[in-house]
Amino acid sequence: MTTYKGINGFAVQSVASDPSPLDEGQVWYNNATYAFKLAAATTVGTWAAGGNLNTARGGLNGGAGTQTAALGFGGFPANGTASESYNGTSWTSTPSLNTARGLGAGFGATNVAAICAGGYNGTNLTASESYNGTSWTNTPSLSTARRGVSGNGTQTAGSAIGGFTSVDIADFESWNGSSWTASTSMGTAKNYLGVIGTQTAALAVNGYNPSVGGGISTVVESWNGSSWTAVGSTNTAVAQMGVSGTQSLGLKFGGATAGGPATGATEIWNGTSWSTNSNSMGTARGGLGSAGAGTQTAALGFGAGSPGNATEEYTGPGSPVTQTITTS
């Protein structure tokens, strides 16, 4: 008789808690819940509630880190200096920003190494600061004061792209860990956009642009380190959305649509086109300010919406999820 051990070379493990991370096709017996379980691949991306922010707010200065180790900072209508770290379950207050602001560029590969630049606190800002896991430290400023600017990259190799001065701008400034330098501007001026990827391989997604119908663009531009190229447009035009992932495997979620209504719609980028093979966020939210973290298949969205402290965790299509094996 063919057995599981005969096929796989090992017996089904008996464990007190479900394993993590999962491998698709993995089978185990949970001896605490008395159930056989299986790691099966999702067919549609889904959102699930995470721990609430301590300070409700929208218009955060982007985000940094991963789904289980993220950083969110600044925003409105709170005092604009609040900073919090997420451990996959709950948020913990961290040292505050030096300059109160929202709608700035925030980025970083981890929750203990981030940058916040530009933004708004009654006036457009150039101020930039760096977080090391213990405190925020002022750094050299952006060349151009602006709000609605978005960022991407790491603490030592990042970008601040687009934004609003008295008009929408396409300006791109790169950060090398010690100073900001003007780089090649996008083809389309816009603000409240989302930026995915690295300093030399990025996507600039949607955003406000008064030259298009409804004031919000579906345009997406790709950056290769030297020039911008228009690529596949999104299905829904949004601004102030959340984003995560890479230039070739991206995710956008939530945002404000033309006329102002918030959405929870989610779209997946495969390097060529955008698809809607995902469920919407549980909370429609239009003031995310690019507040997202993680990858295309394991993302985090937080803030905005009502009451403004909700956090949601995304599991993308094709990601392993736990299912209980039954006889039905």
Q: What are phi and psi of 7, to 5 degrees?
A: -80, -45
> Which residues, 6 or more positions from 2, have their beta carbon under 8 angstroms from its beta carbon?
none
Q: What is the pLDDT of residue 211?
A: 79
pLDDT value at residue 6: 63
Q: Cα 109 vs. chain centroid, distance in angstroms?
A: 11
Place of tokens 């993590």: 20
Strand order in the sheet with 113-117: 105-110, 113-117, 128-131, 136-139
Pull the structure tokens for residue 127.
């101020």
Q: What is the pLDDT of residues 151-173, one digit of tens each?
A: 999 999 999 999 999 999 999 99
| Residue carrying the six token digits 């996959």 | 88
Per-residue pLDDT averaged across 38-54, rounded?
A: 89
**Residues forming a β-bridge with 36:** 29
pLDDT over threshold 60, residue 4? no
Bigger pLDDT: 78 vs 13: 13
**What CA–CA distance (Å, rounded) separates 118 from 256?**
21
Question: Residue 43: pLDDT band by 50, 70, 90 thresholds?
Answer: confident
Tens-digit pLDDT profile for residues 204-238:
999 998 877 679 999 999 999 999 999 999 999 99
In this prediction, residues 6-32 reach a mean pLDDT of 80
Q: For the chain, what's the residue count?
A: 328
Q: For residue range 263-309, list pLDDT tens digits in order.
A: 999 999 999 999 998 999 999 998 886 667 899 999 999 999 888 99
Reply yes or no: is the peptide bond before residue 95 cis, omega within 30 of 0. no
* Phi, psi dihedrals of residue 5, rounded to the nearest 5°: -65, -35
**Computed from CA positions of residues 197, 198, 202, 203, in that sequence, does the dihedral angle turn out positive or negative?**
positive
Would you list the DSSP string of 138-190? Answer: EEPPPSS-BBS-EEEEETTEEEEEEEESSSEEEEEEEE-SS-EEEEPPPSS--
> Which of 152, 228, 159, 158 has the alpha carbon at shortest distance from 189?
228
Correct CATH for 46-315 of 2.120.10.80, 3.40.50.300, 3.40.50.2300, 3.40.50.720: 2.120.10.80
So what's the pLDDT on residue 40?
A: 77
Q: Is the pLDDT of residue 106 over 90?
A: yes
Mean pLDDT of the chain: 91
Question: Do the Cβ atoms of 308 and 54 come closer than 8 Å?
Answer: no
Domain regions of the chain by residue span = 4-41, 46-315
Q: What is the pLDDT of residue 1?
A: 64
C-alpha to C-alpha distance for 189 and 172, rounded to whole angstroms: 10
4's enclosing H/E stretch is helix 4-8
> How far apart, in whole angstroms, are the C-alpha atoms of residue 191 and residue 239?
8
Those residues whose C-beta lies under 8 Å from the C-beta of residue 14, and which sit 6 or more positions away, are: 28, 29, 31
Q: What is the pLDDT of residue 8?
A: 62
- Answer whether residue 245 shows pLDDT above 70: yes
pTM value surpassing 0.75: yes
The reported pLDDT for the residue numbered 280 is 96
Report residue 3's pLDDT band, with 50, 70 and 90 as the boundaries: low
The percentage of the chain sitting over the pLDDT mark of 70, rounded to a whole number, equals: 95
Residue 31 DSSP one-character state: T
- The whole-number pLDDT of residue 7 equals 59
Mean pLDDT in residue range 52-80: 91
More reliable by pLDDT, 37 or 198:
198
Segment (H or E) for 7: helix 4-8
Residue 51 in tokens: 């721990």
